[in-house]
Amino acid sequence: MSECLKYLPMLTARDGELSPMERAGLEAHLGACHACRARLAEERLLSGLVGEAMQAEASRRDFSGFSDAVLGRIDQRPWLVRSLGRLWPWGQPSPVRAWAGIAVPVLAAVALVVYLGLGSIFSERYQPGEVEVSSEGHDMTVIQTDDGPVVIWGDLEQPEGT
């Protein structure tokens, strides 16, 4: 019985689909097992029927307008859909490459947003505040900064010695 369990799924294998060892084991088992030979006969009876049934159903359908409808749908797609459609993964020969094709522009966009976002943070954080300069005579100048007034002793406009 355990031998049958092992070989049952191999009954419908086509030429070249089993390893030489699997094929030899199956042949040997079929030679000794009447039940599996009966199952094989049944499998052969049904072989190809699903394909025939689906092809027969397809043949009953009228395909006269099919290609026109397909080309019509191709022409009707909006530009955005056409562009996004190129990113659809199963249309690519390799899904990995397809997903990479999606990931790269998305990551680039995220990076740009982050960069611009941080740039604005940087700009707010590190941009020098407005500086107001007032001279209180030749001996002292007061510069108003975000951190408070800074007093510079001396004349900024006419440094000594000029």
**Residue 8 touching another protein (CB under 8 A):** yes
**How far, in whole angstroms, is CA 138 from its chain's centroid?**
69
Residue 138 engages another protein in binding (rule: CB under 8 A): no
Give burial (CB, 10 Å; 0-12/13-18/19+) of 8. middle
Yes or no: say if 89 and 102 are a contact pair by the CB < 8 Å rule.
yes
Minimum CB distance to another protein smaller for 44 or for 138: 44
- Using DSSP, state whether 144 is helix, strand or coil: strand
Name the segment binding another protein (CB under 8 A); options: 90-98, 113-121, 137-145, 146-154: 90-98
The reply to whether 1 sits near another protein by the rule CB under 8 A is yes
Nearest to 98 by CA among 113, 112, 81, 106: 106
Site string for another protein, 35-74 (x = CB under 8 A): x--xx-xxxxxxxxxxxxxxxxxxx-x-x--xx-xxx-xx
One-letter amino acid for residue 132 of the chain: E
Binding site for another protein (CB under 8 A): 1, 4-5, 8-14, 16-17, 35, 38-39, 41-59, 61, 63, 66-67, 69-71, 73-74, 77, 82, 85-86, 88, 90-93
